[in-house]
Amino acid sequence: MSSTRLAGRLTRLLNLVPYFTARPGISAADAARDLGVTPKQIMDDLNQLWVCGLPGYGPGDLIDLSFSEESIVVTFTAGIDRPLRLTSTEATVLLVALRSLLEMPGVVDPTAAQSAIAKIEAAAGSAAAGPAAAADPVPDDPVAARIRDAVRDGRAVHLTYYSASRDTVSERDVDPIRIVLIDEHTYLQAWCRTAEGVRLFRFDRIDAARILDEPARPPQRALDDDEHLELFAGDPSLPAARLWIAPTYTWLLDYYPLTDVRLLADGSCEAVLRFASPEWLVRLVVGLGAGVSVLGPPALRDAVRARAAAALDAYDVLGDDAAG
């Protein structure tokens, strides 16, 4: 199981007890719809909670539930429903996390996060206050706010999106599934009606978003499988280039959908980049200079050499003109 899926499950487990305590008798299907998972995942999580609880792990220590697919009731919470009292260290960690989320567009409502920060600081006192406590309010990005509203309300969205691997701006209708945070970037996970598949849309590459007057209807198979959260899965229908990347250029891994990364002893790496436009990829590699080399396919390598040679020839012409 990937780290993304483990993190997602941990989040659900931490919230299930108060969720079911507030909704006694709810069915697994209704809970799954509320939480954005499948009924099978709900039942698996409940079976995991069955053996969780307080140290001692005997009668009266473990969470106790009465559940079936038709009805779920928490009979003993093991204290998870009690008001949380934070130490100064815990409050500081939580404040740092909330302030970090404010820098990630679309993850949270900035107003709600800032309100939570103010309440924690007021409760924890000066021990948890930091230099960012008096910072100006963070405005909500309008595009991120519309996407968050669409996910919350289950509405389809029309996107204007820049694709880095294709070097194009496209218009497409999508059925939102959830918002995810991967490698310090925020993404909308959605069913793309154009591609007829699940895609991840990075928030800072969404130029515009318009909520459509129709409900989001992602296919059930898109909701059942979390493999789409593996960000750099690539599009198998596109041609692939194998690249050598110098140690000082490994930042490219954060900006392009590189897969099959192999780290080398000198700090450089080899990786695969799928592309739709050979012209775009040639232009990208030439622009990066000695930091990136094409290992294959041969036709692409030859195209890069030809473009680089043409650029050098142009410099020679300029030099001759200046000398004359």
Identify the CATH number of the domain in which residue 156 sits: 2.30.30
Domain boundary among 76, 100, 128: 76
Does 249 reside within a domain?
yes
* pLDDT tens track for 183-209: 567 888 889 898 888 888 888 889 999
In a shared domain, residues 147 and 216 = yes
Q: What is the CATH number of the domain that holds 15?
A: 1.10.10.10
* pLDDT tens track for 8-31: 555 667 678 888 888 889 998 888
Specify the number of domains making up the chain. Answer: 3
Return the pLDDT at 208. 92
Structural domain of 297: 240-322
Chain-centroid distance of CA 50 in Å reads 30
With tokens 């990786």, the residue in question is 271
Least reliable range by pLDDT among 37-46, 127-136, 240-249: 127-136
Domain boundary among 233, 252, 274: 233
Return the pLDDT at 233. 46
Does 217 reside within a domain?
yes
In a shared domain, residues 19 and 59 = yes
Return the pLDDT at 11. 60
Does 91 reside within a domain?
no
Does 299 reside within a domain?
yes
The residue with greater pLDDT, 173 or 133, is 173
Sheet with 269-274, side-by-side order of all strands: 258-263, 269-274, 240-245, 292-296
Residue 63 CA to residue 56 CA, distance in Å, equals 12
